[in-house]
Amino acid sequence: MLNESFCYEDGELCCDGLPLRTIAQAVGTPVYVYSAARLRHNAARLQRAFAPLRAELHYSLKANPNLTLVRMLSQAGLGADAVSAGEVDRALRAGVDPARIVFAGVGKTPAEITFALRAKIGWFNVESRDELTLLNRLAGEEKCRPQVALRLNPGIQAQTHPHIATGHAAAKFGMPPETVAEVLGARTAYPHLRLAGIHVHIGSQLGSVTETVAAVRLAQSLAAPYPDLRTLNIGGGFPVPYTPDDRYPQPEDFAHALAPLVGGWRVLAEPGRAAIADAGVLVIGVVAVKEQGGQRFVIADGGMTDLLRPALYGAIHEVVTLEQRDGPLAPAVVSGPVCESTDVLHRAAWLPPLRPGDLLAVLTAGAYGMAMASNYNLRTRPPEVLVEDGDWRVIRRRETWDDLLRLESEALDGRSPERS
Ligand code: LLP
Protein backbone atom coordinates (compact mmCIF):
# COMPACT_ATOMS: atom_id res chain seq x y z
CA MET A 1 0.00 0.00 0.00
CA LEU A 2 1.26 3.50 -0.81
CA ASN A 3 1.95 5.79 2.15
CA GLU A 4 3.52 9.18 2.90
CA SER A 5 7.01 7.82 2.23
CA PHE A 6 6.25 5.73 -0.85
CA CYS A 7 4.05 7.80 -3.17
CA TYR A 8 4.00 9.34 -6.64
CA GLU A 9 5.56 12.72 -7.19
CA ASP A 10 5.43 14.22 -10.69
CA GLY A 11 4.36 10.85 -12.03
CA GLU A 12 7.31 8.94 -10.52
CA LEU A 13 7.07 6.55 -7.58
CA CYS A 14 9.40 7.99 -4.97
CA CYS A 15 10.79 7.07 -1.61
CA ASP A 16 10.74 10.23 0.51
CA GLY A 17 10.99 12.34 -2.63
CA LEU A 18 13.73 10.30 -4.29
CA PRO A 19 12.62 8.52 -7.50
CA LEU A 20 12.93 4.76 -7.08
CA ARG A 21 13.99 4.67 -10.73
CA THR A 22 17.25 6.41 -9.81
CA ILE A 23 18.12 3.62 -7.39
CA ALA A 24 16.98 0.83 -9.71
CA GLN A 25 19.08 2.23 -12.55
CA ALA A 26 22.15 2.53 -10.33
CA VAL A 27 22.08 -0.85 -8.55
CA GLY A 28 19.84 -2.91 -10.83
CA THR A 29 16.78 -5.00 -9.99
CA PRO A 30 15.51 -6.73 -7.96
CA VAL A 31 16.35 -4.40 -5.07
CA TYR A 32 14.81 -3.73 -1.68
CA VAL A 33 14.47 -0.04 -0.83
CA TYR A 34 13.72 1.18 2.71
CA SER A 35 12.72 4.58 4.03
CA ALA A 36 14.60 5.70 7.13
CA ALA A 37 11.92 8.31 7.78
CA ARG A 38 9.14 5.74 7.70
CA LEU A 39 11.06 3.37 9.97
CA ARG A 40 11.57 6.13 12.54
CA HIS A 41 7.95 7.20 12.17
CA ASN A 42 6.81 3.61 12.88
CA ALA A 43 9.11 3.28 15.90
CA ALA A 44 7.80 6.54 17.36
CA ARG A 45 4.22 5.57 16.66
CA LEU A 46 4.60 2.20 18.42
CA GLN A 47 6.24 3.89 21.39
CA ARG A 48 3.39 6.40 21.62
CA ALA A 49 0.76 3.68 21.21
CA PHE A 50 2.17 1.58 24.03
CA ALA A 51 3.12 4.47 26.31
CA PRO A 52 -0.04 4.05 28.43
CA LEU A 53 1.24 0.53 29.30
CA ARG A 54 4.79 1.83 29.82
CA ALA A 55 5.68 -1.14 27.60
CA GLU A 56 9.30 -1.83 26.74
CA LEU A 57 9.44 -2.55 23.02
CA HIS A 58 11.74 -5.17 21.57
CA TYR A 59 12.03 -5.17 17.79
CA SER A 60 11.56 -8.68 16.46
CA LEU A 61 14.65 -9.17 14.31
CA LYS A 62 13.12 -12.00 12.34
CA ALA A 63 11.05 -9.46 10.41
CA ASN A 64 14.19 -7.88 8.99
CA PRO A 65 17.61 -8.37 10.57
CA ASN A 66 19.57 -5.90 8.43
CA LEU A 67 22.32 -4.48 10.64
CA THR A 68 21.71 -0.86 9.69
CA LEU A 69 17.96 -1.10 10.23
CA VAL A 70 18.33 -2.87 13.59
CA ARG A 71 20.81 -0.21 14.66
CA MET A 72 18.38 2.54 13.69
CA LEU A 73 15.58 0.95 15.69
CA SER A 74 17.91 0.47 18.64
CA GLN A 75 18.87 4.14 18.46
CA ALA A 76 15.16 4.94 18.39
CA GLY A 77 14.89 3.22 21.77
CA LEU A 78 13.79 -0.34 20.93
CA GLY A 79 15.40 -3.45 22.37
CA ALA A 80 15.58 -6.70 20.39
CA ASP A 81 13.60 -9.93 20.22
CA ALA A 82 15.82 -12.75 18.95
CA VAL A 83 14.93 -16.34 18.08
CA SER A 84 18.39 -17.73 17.40
CA ALA A 85 21.89 -17.08 18.65
CA GLY A 86 22.50 -15.61 15.21
CA GLU A 87 19.87 -12.97 15.91
CA VAL A 88 21.30 -12.36 19.41
CA ASP A 89 24.69 -11.84 17.79
CA ARG A 90 23.19 -9.50 15.17
CA ALA A 91 21.44 -7.44 17.86
CA LEU A 92 24.67 -7.13 19.84
CA ARG A 93 26.58 -6.08 16.73
CA ALA A 94 23.91 -3.50 15.98
CA GLY A 95 24.60 -2.00 19.40
CA VAL A 96 21.54 -3.21 21.29
CA ASP A 97 22.11 -3.19 25.05
CA PRO A 98 22.31 -6.90 26.05
CA ALA A 99 19.90 -6.23 28.91
CA ARG A 100 17.35 -5.23 26.26
CA ILE A 101 17.57 -8.50 24.32
CA VAL A 102 14.93 -11.18 24.81
CA PHE A 103 15.58 -14.65 23.43
CA ALA A 104 12.61 -16.83 22.42
CA GLY A 105 12.64 -19.92 20.23
CA VAL A 106 11.26 -23.39 20.60
CA GLY A 107 14.52 -25.23 19.96
CA LYS A 108 17.44 -23.36 21.52
CA THR A 109 20.53 -25.55 21.51
CA PRO A 110 23.07 -25.73 24.37
CA ALA A 111 25.55 -23.75 22.27
CA GLU A 112 22.99 -21.03 21.60
CA ILE A 113 22.00 -20.80 25.26
CA THR A 114 25.61 -20.61 26.44
CA PHE A 115 26.32 -17.87 23.91
CA ALA A 116 23.34 -15.85 25.16
CA LEU A 117 24.21 -16.44 28.83
CA ARG A 118 27.72 -15.16 28.24
CA ALA A 119 26.30 -12.11 26.47
CA LYS A 120 24.19 -11.46 29.59
CA ILE A 121 20.97 -10.88 27.72
CA GLY A 122 17.89 -9.61 29.56
CA TRP A 123 15.41 -12.43 29.21
CA PHE A 124 15.10 -16.03 28.09
CA ASN A 125 11.58 -16.87 26.91
CA VAL A 126 11.51 -20.58 27.68
CA GLU A 127 9.27 -22.88 25.67
CA SER A 128 9.54 -26.35 27.27
CA ARG A 129 10.44 -28.20 30.49
CA ASP A 130 13.49 -29.65 28.74
CA GLU A 131 14.68 -26.16 27.92
CA LEU A 132 14.20 -25.09 31.55
CA THR A 133 16.28 -28.02 32.76
CA LEU A 134 18.99 -27.29 30.21
CA LEU A 135 19.02 -23.56 30.88
CA ASN A 136 19.16 -24.16 34.64
CA ARG A 137 22.15 -26.48 34.23
CA LEU A 138 24.02 -24.19 31.83
CA ALA A 139 23.33 -21.12 34.01
CA GLY A 140 24.78 -23.04 36.94
CA GLU A 141 27.88 -23.85 34.92
CA GLU A 142 28.20 -20.21 33.85
CA LYS A 143 27.58 -19.06 37.44
CA CYS A 144 24.74 -16.71 36.55
CA ARG A 145 21.02 -16.52 37.25
CA PRO A 146 19.19 -15.30 34.15
CA GLN A 147 15.67 -13.90 34.08
CA VAL A 148 13.17 -16.26 32.56
CA ALA A 149 9.71 -15.75 31.15
CA LEU A 150 7.72 -18.93 30.61
CA ARG A 151 6.17 -18.95 27.18
CA LEU A 152 2.53 -19.81 27.62
CA ASN A 153 0.61 -21.57 24.89
CA PRO A 154 -2.84 -20.36 25.92
CA GLY A 155 -4.75 -22.70 23.61
CA ILE A 156 -6.33 -19.74 21.82
CA GLN A 157 -6.85 -19.56 18.06
CA ALA A 158 -5.71 -16.18 16.75
CA GLN A 159 -7.57 -14.66 13.80
CA THR A 160 -4.86 -14.91 11.19
CA HIS A 161 -3.45 -17.16 8.47
CA PRO A 162 -3.04 -20.70 9.87
CA HIS A 163 0.70 -20.66 9.07
CA ILE A 164 1.29 -17.76 11.44
CA ALA A 165 -1.01 -18.70 14.33
CA THR A 166 1.07 -19.86 17.30
CA GLY A 167 -1.20 -19.85 20.37
CA HIS A 168 -3.61 -22.72 19.69
CA ALA A 169 -3.27 -26.02 21.51
CA ALA A 170 -1.97 -27.89 18.43
CA ALA A 171 0.94 -25.45 17.90
CA LYS A 172 4.48 -26.43 18.88
CA PHE A 173 5.08 -23.12 20.66
CA GLY A 174 5.22 -22.54 24.40
CA MET A 175 3.78 -24.64 27.20
CA PRO A 176 0.11 -25.29 27.94
CA PRO A 177 -1.43 -23.64 31.01
CA GLU A 178 -1.20 -26.83 33.12
CA THR A 179 2.52 -27.12 32.46
CA VAL A 180 3.14 -23.46 33.24
CA ALA A 181 1.22 -23.86 36.52
CA GLU A 182 3.21 -26.99 37.43
CA VAL A 183 6.53 -25.36 36.63
CA LEU A 184 5.66 -22.31 38.72
CA GLY A 185 4.65 -24.57 41.60
CA ALA A 186 8.06 -26.25 41.41
CA ARG A 187 10.25 -23.19 40.98
CA THR A 188 12.79 -24.42 43.51
CA ALA A 189 13.75 -27.12 41.01
CA TYR A 190 15.45 -24.36 39.01
CA PRO A 191 17.76 -22.63 41.51
CA HIS A 192 19.83 -20.98 38.78
CA LEU A 193 16.85 -19.29 37.14
CA ARG A 194 14.77 -16.28 38.13
CA LEU A 195 11.29 -17.20 36.91
CA ALA A 196 10.00 -13.65 36.73
CA GLY A 197 7.64 -13.40 33.77
CA ILE A 198 5.13 -14.96 31.41
CA HIS A 199 5.47 -14.60 27.68
CA VAL A 200 2.60 -15.06 25.29
CA HIS A 201 2.61 -14.55 21.52
CA ILE A 202 -0.44 -16.01 19.80
CA GLY A 203 0.36 -15.16 16.21
CA SER A 204 1.27 -12.57 13.64
CA GLN A 205 -0.89 -10.14 11.62
CA LEU A 206 -3.59 -10.51 14.29
CA GLY A 207 -7.09 -9.81 13.01
CA SER A 208 -8.58 -8.84 16.37
CA VAL A 209 -7.53 -7.84 19.88
CA THR A 210 -10.00 -10.15 21.65
CA GLU A 211 -7.77 -13.21 21.63
CA THR A 212 -4.77 -11.25 22.89
CA VAL A 213 -6.83 -9.95 25.81
CA ALA A 214 -7.95 -13.50 26.63
CA ALA A 215 -4.37 -14.76 26.47
CA VAL A 216 -3.14 -11.97 28.75
CA ARG A 217 -5.89 -12.70 31.28
CA LEU A 218 -4.91 -16.35 31.34
CA ALA A 219 -1.24 -15.48 31.79
CA GLN A 220 -2.10 -13.18 34.67
CA SER A 221 -4.23 -15.80 36.40
CA LEU A 222 -1.34 -18.28 36.24
CA ALA A 223 1.07 -15.71 37.68
CA ALA A 224 -1.36 -14.42 40.34
CA PRO A 225 -0.17 -16.67 43.21
CA TYR A 226 3.42 -15.44 42.80
CA PRO A 227 3.82 -11.75 43.75
CA ASP A 228 7.38 -11.65 42.41
CA LEU A 229 6.12 -12.68 38.98
CA ARG A 230 4.78 -9.46 37.55
CA THR A 231 6.33 -9.19 34.09
CA LEU A 232 4.19 -9.87 31.08
CA ASN A 233 5.66 -10.16 27.62
CA ILE A 234 2.73 -9.82 25.21
CA GLY A 235 4.78 -10.77 22.12
CA GLY A 236 4.23 -9.15 18.75
CA GLY A 237 1.70 -9.73 16.01
CA PHE A 238 0.45 -6.17 15.53
CA PRO A 239 -0.90 -6.14 11.99
CA VAL A 240 -0.37 -3.77 9.09
CA PRO A 241 -2.67 -3.06 6.12
CA TYR A 242 -1.29 -4.40 2.84
CA THR A 243 -4.08 -2.98 0.67
CA PRO A 244 -6.41 0.01 1.13
CA ASP A 245 -9.29 -2.43 1.76
CA ASP A 246 -7.54 -4.10 4.72
CA ARG A 247 -9.17 -3.36 8.06
CA TYR A 248 -7.04 -4.39 11.01
CA PRO A 249 -6.81 -3.24 14.61
CA GLN A 250 -4.14 -0.60 15.15
CA PRO A 251 -1.35 -0.87 17.73
CA GLU A 252 -3.32 1.73 19.73
CA ASP A 253 -6.30 -0.65 19.82
CA PHE A 254 -4.18 -3.38 21.43
CA ALA A 255 -2.78 -0.91 23.95
CA HIS A 256 -6.24 0.46 24.71
CA ALA A 257 -7.70 -3.02 25.29
CA LEU A 258 -4.82 -4.11 27.52
CA ALA A 259 -4.34 -0.92 29.54
CA PRO A 260 -7.08 -1.67 32.08
CA LEU A 261 -5.54 -5.10 32.75
CA VAL A 262 -1.89 -4.41 33.29
CA GLY A 263 -1.69 -1.90 36.12
CA GLY A 264 1.12 -3.04 38.41
CA TRP A 265 2.66 -5.20 35.69
CA ARG A 266 5.88 -4.61 33.82
CA VAL A 267 4.98 -5.04 30.14
CA LEU A 268 7.26 -6.07 27.28
CA ALA A 269 6.21 -6.29 23.63
CA GLU A 270 7.89 -7.62 20.48
CA PRO A 271 6.67 -5.85 17.34
CA GLY A 272 8.31 -6.88 14.08
CA ARG A 273 6.07 -6.30 11.09
CA ALA A 274 4.51 -3.10 12.46
CA ALA A 275 7.95 -1.49 12.65
CA ILE A 276 9.24 -2.28 9.19
CA ALA A 277 6.64 -3.68 6.74
CA ASP A 278 5.50 -0.40 5.20
CA ALA A 279 9.00 1.09 5.31
CA GLY A 280 10.17 -1.13 2.45
CA VAL A 281 9.38 -2.01 -1.16
CA LEU A 282 10.83 -4.50 -3.61
CA VAL A 283 11.62 -2.99 -7.00
CA ILE A 284 11.60 -5.48 -9.86
CA GLY A 285 12.11 -5.26 -13.61
CA VAL A 286 9.85 -6.73 -16.28
CA VAL A 287 11.66 -9.40 -18.32
CA ALA A 288 8.86 -10.68 -20.54
CA VAL A 289 5.13 -10.30 -21.08
CA LYS A 290 2.99 -13.06 -22.56
CA GLU A 291 -0.67 -13.94 -23.00
CA GLN A 292 -1.28 -17.56 -22.14
CA GLY A 293 -4.32 -19.58 -21.07
CA GLY A 294 -6.41 -16.47 -21.05
CA GLN A 295 -4.05 -14.67 -18.69
CA ARG A 296 -1.48 -11.93 -19.06
CA PHE A 297 1.75 -13.08 -17.47
CA VAL A 298 4.23 -10.41 -16.49
CA ILE A 299 7.49 -12.22 -15.83
CA ALA A 300 9.79 -10.20 -13.61
CA ASP A 301 13.40 -10.52 -12.51
CA GLY A 302 12.25 -10.88 -8.87
CA GLY A 303 10.10 -13.66 -7.51
CA MET A 304 9.52 -16.06 -4.65
CA THR A 305 13.20 -16.25 -3.79
CA ASP A 306 13.11 -12.51 -3.10
CA LEU A 307 9.64 -12.26 -1.57
CA LEU A 308 8.15 -15.57 -0.43
CA ARG A 309 4.99 -14.31 1.27
CA PRO A 310 2.60 -14.50 -1.73
CA ALA A 311 3.73 -18.06 -2.54
CA LEU A 312 3.77 -19.27 1.08
CA TYR A 313 0.73 -17.56 2.60
CA GLY A 314 -1.22 -16.32 -0.41
CA ALA A 315 -0.30 -12.87 0.91
CA ILE A 316 -1.30 -9.88 -1.17
CA HIS A 317 1.30 -7.22 -1.87
CA GLU A 318 0.18 -4.52 -4.26
CA VAL A 319 2.26 -4.22 -7.43
CA VAL A 320 2.48 -0.83 -9.15
CA THR A 321 4.50 0.75 -11.94
CA LEU A 322 7.31 3.13 -11.01
CA GLU A 323 6.10 5.44 -13.73
CA GLN A 324 2.50 6.57 -13.22
CA ARG A 325 0.70 5.75 -16.47
CA ASP A 326 -2.68 6.66 -17.84
CA GLY A 327 -3.07 3.58 -20.05
CA PRO A 328 -5.99 1.18 -19.51
CA LEU A 329 -5.43 -1.09 -16.51
CA ALA A 330 -5.96 -4.84 -16.87
CA PRO A 331 -5.20 -7.77 -14.58
CA ALA A 332 -1.84 -9.48 -14.80
CA VAL A 333 -0.23 -12.43 -13.09
CA VAL A 334 3.08 -11.06 -11.87
CA SER A 335 5.49 -13.98 -11.70
CA GLY A 336 9.15 -14.44 -11.02
CA PRO A 337 11.70 -16.45 -13.01
CA VAL A 338 11.91 -19.38 -10.58
CA CYS A 339 11.10 -22.87 -11.81
CA GLU A 340 8.04 -23.35 -9.60
CA SER A 341 4.41 -22.77 -10.52
CA THR A 342 3.91 -21.09 -7.16
CA ASP A 343 6.48 -18.43 -8.03
CA VAL A 344 3.91 -15.67 -8.15
CA LEU A 345 4.17 -12.19 -6.65
CA HIS A 346 0.60 -11.19 -7.47
CA ARG A 347 -2.19 -13.26 -9.03
CA ALA A 348 -4.24 -10.32 -10.32
CA ALA A 349 -2.43 -7.01 -10.29
CA TRP A 350 -4.20 -4.25 -12.21
CA LEU A 351 -1.47 -2.88 -14.43
CA PRO A 352 -1.17 -0.87 -17.65
CA PRO A 353 0.35 -2.41 -20.80
CA LEU A 354 3.94 -3.39 -19.99
CA ARG A 355 7.12 -4.11 -21.92
CA PRO A 356 10.45 -5.70 -21.03
CA GLY A 357 12.53 -3.17 -19.11
CA ASP A 358 9.59 -1.55 -17.33
CA LEU A 359 10.01 -1.21 -13.59
CA LEU A 360 7.51 -2.27 -10.92
CA ALA A 361 7.37 -1.94 -7.16
CA VAL A 362 5.98 -4.59 -4.84
CA LEU A 363 4.66 -2.65 -1.87
CA THR A 364 4.74 -3.17 1.90
CA ALA A 365 7.63 -5.61 1.53
CA GLY A 366 9.89 -4.46 4.39
CA ALA A 367 8.91 -7.24 6.80
CA TYR A 368 9.57 -10.93 6.12
CA GLY A 369 10.74 -10.04 2.63
CA MET A 370 14.52 -10.04 2.54
CA ALA A 371 14.46 -11.98 5.83
CA MET A 372 12.92 -14.97 4.05
CA ALA A 373 14.78 -14.64 0.75
CA SER A 374 16.64 -17.70 -0.50
CA ASN A 375 19.19 -18.81 -3.04
CA TYR A 376 16.90 -21.38 -4.65
CA ASN A 377 17.73 -21.80 -8.36
CA LEU A 378 21.13 -20.34 -7.39
CA ARG A 379 19.65 -16.90 -7.42
CA THR A 380 21.62 -14.22 -5.66
CA ARG A 381 19.71 -12.35 -2.97
CA PRO A 382 18.96 -8.72 -3.83
CA PRO A 383 20.74 -5.70 -2.43
CA GLU A 384 19.14 -3.49 0.22
CA VAL A 385 19.16 0.28 -0.09
CA LEU A 386 18.31 2.87 2.54
CA VAL A 387 16.89 6.27 1.64
CA GLU A 388 17.75 8.83 4.28
CA ASP A 389 17.82 12.63 4.26
CA GLY A 390 17.29 12.92 0.51
CA ASP A 391 20.13 10.54 -0.31
CA TRP A 392 20.46 6.78 -0.65
CA ARG A 393 23.07 4.15 0.15
CA VAL A 394 23.47 0.38 -0.15
CA ILE A 395 23.14 -1.25 3.28
CA ARG A 396 23.63 -4.77 1.96
CA ARG A 397 25.15 -5.41 -1.42
CA ARG A 398 23.80 -7.84 -3.98
CA GLU A 399 25.16 -11.34 -3.54
CA THR A 400 27.46 -12.68 -6.19
CA TRP A 401 27.96 -16.17 -7.59
CA ASP A 402 31.29 -16.23 -5.74
CA ASP A 403 29.46 -15.52 -2.48
CA LEU A 404 27.31 -18.55 -3.15
CA LEU A 405 30.27 -20.75 -4.03
CA ARG A 406 32.49 -19.66 -1.13
CA LEU A 407 31.13 -22.23 1.34
CA GLU A 408 31.79 -24.99 -1.19
CA SER A 409 35.18 -23.78 -2.37
CA GLU A 410 37.13 -26.56 -0.71
CA ALA A 411 35.14 -29.14 -2.60
CA LEU A 412 35.92 -27.15 -5.73
CA ASP A 413 39.64 -27.50 -4.98
CA GLY A 414 39.25 -31.26 -4.75
CA ARG A 415 39.33 -31.26 -0.94
CA SER A 416 36.27 -32.30 1.00
CA PRO A 417 34.57 -29.51 2.92
CA GLU A 418 35.72 -29.62 6.53
CA ARG A 419 33.43 -31.34 9.00
CA SER A 420 31.68 -28.95 11.29
N1 LLP B 1 7.47 -12.50 18.98
C2 LLP B 1 7.44 -13.81 18.68
C3 LLP B 1 7.64 -14.81 19.74
C4 LLP B 1 7.21 -14.22 17.35
O5 LLP B 1 7.17 -15.50 17.06
C6 LLP B 1 7.02 -13.24 16.35
C7 LLP B 1 6.81 -13.62 14.96
C8 LLP B 1 7.07 -11.88 16.72
C9 LLP B 1 7.28 -11.55 18.05
C10 LLP B 1 6.90 -10.75 15.74
O11 LLP B 1 5.66 -10.81 15.14
P12 LLP B 1 5.14 -9.58 14.23
O13 LLP B 1 5.00 -8.39 15.13
O14 LLP B 1 6.15 -9.37 13.17
O15 LLP B 1 3.86 -10.06 13.69
N16 LLP B 1 6.79 -14.94 8.07
C17 LLP B 1 5.45 -14.56 8.49
C18 LLP B 1 5.43 -14.04 9.91
C19 LLP B 1 6.01 -14.99 10.91
C20 LLP B 1 6.01 -14.44 12.29
C21 LLP B 1 6.75 -15.32 13.23
N22 LLP B 1 6.81 -14.83 14.56
C23 LLP B 1 4.89 -13.55 7.50
O24 LLP B 1 5.58 -13.21 6.55
O25 LLP B 1 3.75 -13.13 7.64
Residue 291, strand partner residues: 296
Q: Which CATH architecture has domain 79-270?
A: Alpha-Beta Barrel (3.20)
* Count of C-beta atoms within a 10 Å radius of residue 399: 15
Q: Could you tell me if the CB of 87 is within 6 A of ligand 1? A: no
Atom of ligand 1 nearest to the CA of 272: 14
- The C-alpha torsion from 74 through 75 and 76 to 79, rounded to 10°, is 20
- Domain definitions of the chain by residue range: 6-33+277-405, 79-270
CATH ID of 6-33+277-405, from 2.102.10.10, 2.40.37.10, 2.60.120.1360, 1.10.10.60: 2.40.37.10
Which residues, in sequence order, are CB contacts of 43 under 8 Å at separation 6+?
57, 73, 76, 77, 78, 275
Q: Could you tell me if the CB of 379 is within 6 A of ligand 1? A: no
Q: 159 — phi, psi (to 5°)?
A: -85, 90
Helix, strand, coil shares, percent, the chain, to 5:
35, 25, 40
- What are the pLDDT tens digits along the chain (420 aa)? 999 999 999 999 999 999 999 999 999 999 999 999 999 999 999 999 999 999 999 999 999 999 999 999 999 999 999 999 999 999 999 999 999 999 999 999 999 999 999 999 999 999 999 999 999 999 999 999 999 999 999 988 878 888 877 888 888 889 999 999 999 999 999 999 999 999 999 999 999 999 999 999 999 999 999 999 999 999 999 999 999 999 999 999 999 999 999 999 999 999 999 999 999 999 999 999 999 999 999 999 999 999 999 999 999 999 999 999 888 999 999 999 999 999 999 999 999 999 999 999 999 999 999 999 999 999 999 999 999 999 999 999 999 999 999 999 877 777 666 665
Angstrom distance (rounded) from CA 394 to CA 355? 28
* Count of C-beta atoms within a 10 Å radius of residue 44: 12
Task: Supply the residue whose CA is at minimum distance from atom 23 of ligand 1.
Answer: 368
Q: Could you tell me if the CB of 366 is within 6 A of ligand 1? A: no
Is-catalytic flag, 144? no
Atom of ligand 1 nearest to the CA of 204: 15
Q: Could you tell me if the CB of 81 is within 6 A of ligand 1? A: yes
Q: State the pTM of this model.
A: 0.96
DSSP state of 109: -
Q: Could you tell me if the CB of 199 is within 6 A of ligand 1? A: no
Residue 38 near residue 278, CB atoms below 8 Å: yes
3-state secondary structure 283-342: EEEEEEEEEECCEEEEEECCCCCCCCHHHHHCCCCCEEECECCCCCCEEEEEECCCCCCC
Concatenated DSSP letters of 7-28: EEETTEEEETTEEHHHHHHHH-
Angstrom distance (rounded) from CA 204 to CA 207? 9
Distance 323 CA to ligand 1 centre (A): 33
Question: Which of 62, 70, 199 to mutate for ligand 1's pocket (most ligand atoms within 8 Å of CB)?
Answer: 62
